Amino acid sequence: MKVEKNLERIQAEIKAACTKVNRNWKEVTVIAVTKYVSSERAKEAIGAGINNLAENWDEGFLEKWEILKEQHPTWHFIGTLQTRKVKTIIDKIDFLHSLDRLSLANEIEKRSQKKVKCFIQVNVSEEASKHGLTVEQVIPFIESIRDFKKIEIVGLMTIAPFTKDENSLRYCFHTLRKLRDDVQTLALPIAPCKELSMGMSNDYVIAVEEGATMLRIGTALVGEKEQEV
Ligand SMILES: *Cc1c(COP(=O)(O)O)cnc(C)c1O
């Protein structure tokens, strides 16, 4: 019930943000990030009508994948993926939001049974603590994997700086959107690149205003570390 209430509020905010910038709210997908919470809470999210779930480490993902099998959620992997973990998770996920290096792309190409929908993770703010390619590295990277058969670049992903400063958030999201448009201009079959995975609990309204199509929301939606939501 509590997840349902949170979802109602978040959806209302998304709709308002879309109205403000003249977007269709149906273009925006809410992904529930369940990494802090139990499988029970994840089930509650599914019950509230959320089909998209995300985890950021392989063990947590595999545990919930097994428990929630019958609910058939769409699974997003949003954390750094170690190359040696690829073979255990790659055929169980629907989207990988954290493609950030050639060695990972090579391993996916080798191990995956199907084409994997990937986002390239971009470190727009160039914080040392964050993974991801720099803005300048993205197009050369895509060109270097253009003949890969098991990878589809469906979009770009970023984690904005943790700040309340609206200008730096907007700058970050706007930069990712411009880069997405540049990738589309290349018209490479491997990279339709329509999606923008950006916006978390702290900044999803601004992300929507700046063009996000996939929001990754944990704390504000399903709560944190089993505290009440
Ligand atoms: C944890 C996490 C989120 C969700 O964070 P909240 O602030 O709890 O909404 C989104 N994206 C990534 C990559 C994360 O690791």
Which tens digits make up the pLDDT trace of 31-71? Answer: 999 999 999 999 999 999 999 999 999 999 999 999 999 99
6 to 14, 39, 206: CA distances (angstroms): 12, 18, 18
Q: What is the pLDDT of residue 1?
A: 54
Q: Answer for the pair 206, 169: CB distance below 8 angstroms, yes or no.
A: yes
Give mean pLDDT, residues 193-210. 98
Quote the pLDDT of residue 227: 53
Pocket test for ligand 1, best of 13, 30, 33, 57 (most atoms within 8 A of CB): 33
- pLDDT value at residue 127: 86
Instruction: Find the helix or strand (DSSP H, E) in which 197 lies.
Output: strand 195-197
Give the tokens for residue 104: 């990972």
Q: Which atom of ligand 1 is nearest to the CA of 56?
A: 15
Encode pLDDT of 105-136 as tens digits: 999 999 999 999 999 999 998 888 889 999 99
Distance between Cα 215 and ligand 1 center (Å): 9
pLDDT score of 85:
97
Mean pLDDT taken over the chain: 96
Q: Which residue's CA lies nearest to atom 13 of ligand 1?
A: 78
Q: How far is the CA of 186 from the centre of ligand 1 (A)?
A: 30
How high is the pLDDT of residue 145? 98
Q: In the structure, which protein residues have their CB atom closer than 6 angstroms to any atom of ligand 1?
A: 33, 35, 56, 78-79, 159, 200-202, 216-220
Nearest Cα residue to atom 11 of ligand 1 = 216
Rounded Cα gap, residues 66 and 23, in angstroms: 37
| Span 89-106, average pLDDT | 98
Over residues 191-201, mean pLDDT: 98
* Residue 177 in this model has a pLDDT that exceeds 70: yes
Regarding pTM above 0.85, the answer is yes
